[in-house]
């Protein structure tokens, strides 16, 4: 029996958008890996900010500014607690995962020499490949890739072979957005540290499902986006160990990140402000904190258990369709099903599903190297969240069957 873990109907009431119709049909939102939907209490946090205490932070002596600062810093503390960072100034607010990765890549420009090596996994999002290529061009460092196997798992023996004293950085996502594979990041981090390399984990896809403990993982950097975990777009965080954040130069110059400015020299503010130049997304940061409150109230164990049930049900039901192939078959995966039907372009399936009110993603999912590996142009990707239901999966399966009938 599904829906045993929590009261799904009550949860669905928290998400106003789930009531809407698309093309005359009830919305079935299965594109959660691209962005998650927003519960009312998070929307309310944004409305509350603009209705009651909209003001710039850290600068004003007036009451509104103090209230806004307090709420923003309280959100930072919630995020610190959630990821179990040892210090609140190790949490840097960013516009999102992409920005966090670029911040670190830019910072390492100053720390790398020609011939140093950077390792990335074959399961990366484009946002996790391009910055490293740019970094290699700037510094003369060399990019190495951990290969993947047909199940969509990293070939860990190859990883261990790649590591050597020239390895300075390792970058890997915690969960692949294209296939849902959960990568063995603890093993990746431990091995990298043995050769003295730093590790940045892209947690964008993991954070909505798995509560990462950055101290237990011993991650040097961990990045996430608020909008993938019930928060608003345009806000995320970079967690960095204090010693690393002190070593990296600032990314952007501007207000908030300076201690003292003269035309001869500027000294930088302490962490976290050194990396938070300019007016941040204040309401976004506060709403991100509210999103974590919301998800923690439901509980990440309950979320993971329920989503696992959805994944199993969706996998079993989809595989009853003849000619349907699922990509990403690791036993360790989140609720993502990437698939194709023989002889049909994924885009055509996605278009027909949209007419039926079903939102899925089609294409390369910003992970073209993975598609090249399987020699396919892309996939149809259905990604589930804790507010999805088994009934919605039935609608998806019926829709895919209909699309197949229309297209063959
Ligand atoms: C979504 C995603 C990103 C990019 O996140 P943005 O919010 O667009 O910056 C990076 N990596 C993974 C694994 C993702 O799923």
If one residue of 99, 125, 224 were mutated to test the ligand 1 pocket, choosing by the most ligand atoms within 8 A of its CB, it would be: 125
pLDDT tens for 361-390 read: 998 877 888 999 999 999 999 999 999 999
Q: What integer pLDDT is reported at residue 253 of this predicted model?
A: 82
CA 92 to chain CA centroid, Å, is 16
The answer, yes or no, to whether any atom of ligand 1 lies below 6 A from the CB of 127, is yes
- Fold agreement between 8-30+300-407 and 44-296: no
Cα 204 to middle of ligand 1, angstroms: 5
Q: What integer pLDDT is reported at residue 357 of this predicted model?
A: 98
Distance between terminal CA atoms of the chain?
35
Tell me whether residue 408 is exposed, middle or buried, using C-beta atoms within 10 angstroms of its C-beta: 0 to 12, 13 to 18, 19 or more. exposed
pLDDT tens for 141-155 read: 999 999 999 999 999
Give the CA radius of gyration of the chain: 22
Element (H, E) at 173: strand 167-173
Strands 324-327 and 167-173: unpaired
Cα 231 to middle of ligand 1, angstroms: 14
The answer, yes or no, to whether any atom of ligand 1 lies below 6 A from the CB of 98, is yes
Tokens of 65: 């500014």
Percent of the chain with pLDDT strictly greater than 90: 88
Asked if 116 and 108 touch (Cβ cutoff 8 Å), the reply is: no
Query: What's the CATH number for 8-30+300-407?
Result: 3.90.1150.10
Q: Quote the CA–CA distance of 297 and 232 in Å, as a whole number.
A: 18
Which atom number of ligand 1 is nearest to the Cα of residue 173?
A: 13
Considering the chain, what is the average pLDDT of its residues? 95
The answer to whether the predicted template modeling score (pTM) of the entire model surpasses 0.75 is: yes
Q: Quote the CA–CA distance of 133 and 105 in Å, as a whole number.
A: 10
| Sequence spans of domains, the chain | 8-30+300-407, 44-296
Q: What integer pLDDT is reported at residue 2 of this predicted model?
A: 46
Q: Which residues of the chain have pLDDT under 70?
A: 1-5, 127
Partners of residue 120 on adjacent β-strands? 145, 171
If one residue of 123, 177, 229, 233 were mutated to test the ligand 1 pocket, choosing by the most ligand atoms within 8 A of its CB, it would be: 177
User: Could you give phi then psi for residue 361, rounded to 5 degrees?
Assistant: -105, 140
**CATH number assigned to the domain with residue range 44-296, chosen from the 4 options 1.10.460.10, 2.60.40.10, 3.40.640.10, 1.10.10.2120:** 3.40.640.10
């Amino acid at each position: 029996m599904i829906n045993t873990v929590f009261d799904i109907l009550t949860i669905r009431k928290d998400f106003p958008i789930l009531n809407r119709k698309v093309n005359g049909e009830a919305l079935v939102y299965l594109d959660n890996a691209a962005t998650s939907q927003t519960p009312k209490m998070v929307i309310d946090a944004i409305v509350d900010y603009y209705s009651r205490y909209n003001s710039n932070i850290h600068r004003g002596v007036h009451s509104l500014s103090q209230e806004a600062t307090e709420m923003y810093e309280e959100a930072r503390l919630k995020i610190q607690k959630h990821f179990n960072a040892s210090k609140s100034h190790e949490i840097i607010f960013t516009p999102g995962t992409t920005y966090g990765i670029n911040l670190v890549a830019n910072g390492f420009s100053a720390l790398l020499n020609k011939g140093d090596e950077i390792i990335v996994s074959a399961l990366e999002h484009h946002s996790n490949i391009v910055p490293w290529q740019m970094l290699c061009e700037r510094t003369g460092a060399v990019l190495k890739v951990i290969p993947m196997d047909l199940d969509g798992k990293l070939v860990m023996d190859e990883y261990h072979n790649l590591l050597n004293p020239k390895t300075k950085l390792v970058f890997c996502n915690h969960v692949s957005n294209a296939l849902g594979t959960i990568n063995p990041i603890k093993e990746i981090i431990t091995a990298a540290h043995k050769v003295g390399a730093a590790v940045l984990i892209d947690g964008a896809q993991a954070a909505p499902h798995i509560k990462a403990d950055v101290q237990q993982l011993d991650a040097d950097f961990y990045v996430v986006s608020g909008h993938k975990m019930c928060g608003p777009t345009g806000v995320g965080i970079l967690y960095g160990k204090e010693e690393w954040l002190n070593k990296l130069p600032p990314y952007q110059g501007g207000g908030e990140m300076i201690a003292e400015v003269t035309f001869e020299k500027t000294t930088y503010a302490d962490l976290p402000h050194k990396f938070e130049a300019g007016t941040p997304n204040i309401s976004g940061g506060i709403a991100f904190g509210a999103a974590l409150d919301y998800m923690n109230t439901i509980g990440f164990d309950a979320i993971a258990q329920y989503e696992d049930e959805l994944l199993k049900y969706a996998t079993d039901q989809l595989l009853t369709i003849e000619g349907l192939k699922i990509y990403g078959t690791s036993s360790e995966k989140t609720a993502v099903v990437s698939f194709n039907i023989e002889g049909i372009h994924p885009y055509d399936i996605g278009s027909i599903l949209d007419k039926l009110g079903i939102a899925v993603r089609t294409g390369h999912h910003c992970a073209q190297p993975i598609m090249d590996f399987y020699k396919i142009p892309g996939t149809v990707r259905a990604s589930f969240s804790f507010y999805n239901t088994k009934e919605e999966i039935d609608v998806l399966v019926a829709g895919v069957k209909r699309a197949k009938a229309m297209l063959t």
